[in-house]
């Protein structure tokens, strides 16, 4: 059974999209805040709530986060073709080997981005969410 994405998954993944969603200054500031809070979240559960508040602070970011956390719209439109088939494919989780940022591939046609030092993202132990 696949795990539904949570706010930490959203925070890790949105970092790859910030420059598409915000101007450069806002994107950089939000990325720095998320980086600090994600590090803090490893040992402090209260940081999760701070991350949630941060992702709800801007309308564009809030809408992106909502779509990420509620992928049911896409899943509801999926209809199995006649004949033998499998389950709806889960989202593939990738990770940057140098900075541990996460990213989720939401569909097969989506290009896998590079990260901080032009490192290629790698599948996170075959984990699908």
Q: Which domain holds residue 59?
A: 7-72+89-128
Q: Is residue 115 part of a domain?
A: yes
Q: Is residue 81 part of a domain?
A: no
Q: Over the stretch 79-92, which tens digit does the pLDDT of each residue have?
A: 556 665 554 455 67
66 in Cβ contact with 58 (< 8 Å): no
For residues 39 and 24, give the distance between their C-alpha atoms in angstroms, rounded to a whole number: 22
Q: Is residue 23 part of a domain?
A: yes
Q: Is residue 48 part of a domain?
A: yes
Q: What total of structural domains would you count in the chain?
A: 1
Q: Over the stretch 42-56, which tens digit does the pLDDT of each residue have?
A: 888 899 999 999 999
Q: Helices in 1-129 by DSSP H: which ranges?
A: 7-14, 18-21, 24-41, 46-55, 59-69, 72-76
């Amino acid at each position: 059974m696949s795990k539904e994405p949570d706010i930490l998954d959203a925070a890790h993944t949105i970092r790859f999209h910030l420059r598409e969603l915000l101007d450069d200054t806002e994107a950089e500031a939000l990325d720095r805040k998320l980086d600090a809070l994600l590090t803090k979240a490893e040992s402090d559960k209260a940081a999760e709530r701070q991350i949630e508040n941060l992702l709800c602070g801007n309308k564009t970011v809030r809408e992106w986060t909502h779509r990420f956390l509620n992928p049911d719209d896409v899943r509801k439109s999926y209809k199995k073709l006649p004949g033998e088939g499998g389950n709806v494919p889960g989202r593939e989780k990738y990770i940057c080997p140098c900075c541990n940022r996460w990213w989720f591939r939401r569909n097969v046609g989506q290009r896998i981005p590079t990260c901080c030092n032009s490192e290629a993202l790698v599948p996170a132990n075959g984990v699908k969410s």
